[in-house]
Homo-oligomer: A and B are copies of this chain.
Amino acid sequence: MENREPEYVHGYDERESQRLQAQAGSVLDLLHADAAYPRGSRVLEVGCGTGAQTLTLARNNPAVRIVAFDGAASSLALARARVRAAGLGNVEFLHADLFALPFSEQSFDHVFVCFVLEHLIKPHEALVLLQRLLKPGGTITVFEGDHGSTYFHPHSDAACKAISCQVELQRRAGGNALIGRQLFPLLSGAGFADVRVSPQIVYVDASRPALVEGFTKKTFTAMIEGVRERAVAAGIIDAASFDAGIRALYRTAENDGVFCYTFFKGVGVRTASTAVR
């Protein structure tokens, strides 16, 4: 989407796409577990990217009409191919910018937003706009991470510094890698009612080998590793310090290590009385 920074902080390459898939597989079941919409609903997926969530949404909701949009044409093409390959016919894709959507007010029953607000310069304005697209009684579901929720054993200042490179790059691009904890004030502040936020902690130790591989290594540490060149080029950190931080993150994936990260899911309702602002 054009309101993401010009250079999407996570990049668009194949490795990144694989990372997002691993992430989706190991963690996002939590999100989709209760994103089952009534038959005949019209659902808007905001910033669908390469379709990682679209696929699950469409599979779990065969009798629901989904409109999925993104501002990045190349991602959208991947999403479209992926959904077609799965034989799913209930998704309409749209190449569009969030702030210039071709829908009139109250066009949707539900809105689904996953890993998008963190990249927006104006998340409040985006939520106000999305609320207008909902019918009264319609719901928004938002899922975001929070890099400030990361801690691990053994603790390592070097690892914290490497993580802070990602946070800083995202901040410079106008985004917010600490947005998960803010879902309640963001949704409430945009006028949604009955806002309910639930954290989903991903706790990883050696008794959960699939998460050690799929989350600590292939999702989180791979994501941080992915900003190495940009962080060094931007003068945020030197290469040796960054690499020490990455080694310390991989260290937490050993047999006596522990890694913790928390995602936040927020749900809000558009009330009949919500005035258009």
Which chain A residues have a beta carbon within 8 Å of chain B's beta carbons? 146, 148-149, 151-153, 155, 178, 181-182, 184-185, 188-189, 195-199, 201, 203, 205-207, 256-258, 260, 262
User: By the criterion CB–CB under 8 Å, are A262 and B201 in contact?
Assistant: yes
A149: which of B146, B151, B197 is its contact (CB, 8 Å)? B151
**A153 / chain B contacts, CB cutoff of 8 Å:** 181-182, 185
User: By the criterion CB–CB under 8 Å, are B182 and A258 in contact?
Assistant: yes
Query: Which 8 A-B pairs rank lowest in CB-CB distance, beginning with the nearest?
Result: A185-B256, A184-B205, A199-B203, A153-B181, A181-B258, A148-B151, A199-B201, A201-B201
Q: How many copies does the complex hold?
A: 2
- Known contacts A197-B205, A199-B201, A203-B197; A181 and B256 CB within 8 A of each other: no
**A256 / chain B contacts, CB cutoff of 8 Å:** 184-185, 188-189
- Known contacts A149-B260, A260-B149; A184 and B201 CB within 8 A of each other: no
Q: A181-B260, A201-B201 are in contact. List 6 more A-B contacts (CB 8 A).
A: A148-B151, A153-B182, A184-B205, A199-B203, A199-B260, A201-B262
**A181 / chain B contacts, CB cutoff of 8 Å:** 151-153, 258, 260
**A182 / chain B contacts, CB cutoff of 8 Å:** 153, 258
* CB nearest neighbor in B for A184: B205
**A197 / chain B contacts, CB cutoff of 8 Å:** 203, 205, 207, 258
**A155 / chain B contacts, CB cutoff of 8 Å:** 148, 178
27 contacts between A and B (CB under 8 A): A146-B151, A149-B151, A151-B181, A152-B181, A153-B181, A153-B182, A153-B185, A155-B178, A181-B258, A181-B260, A182-B258, A184-B205, A184-B206, A184-B207, A185-B205, A185-B256, A188-B256, A189-B256, A195-B207, A196-B207, A197-B203, A197-B207, A198-B203, A199-B201, A199-B203, A199-B260, A260-B262
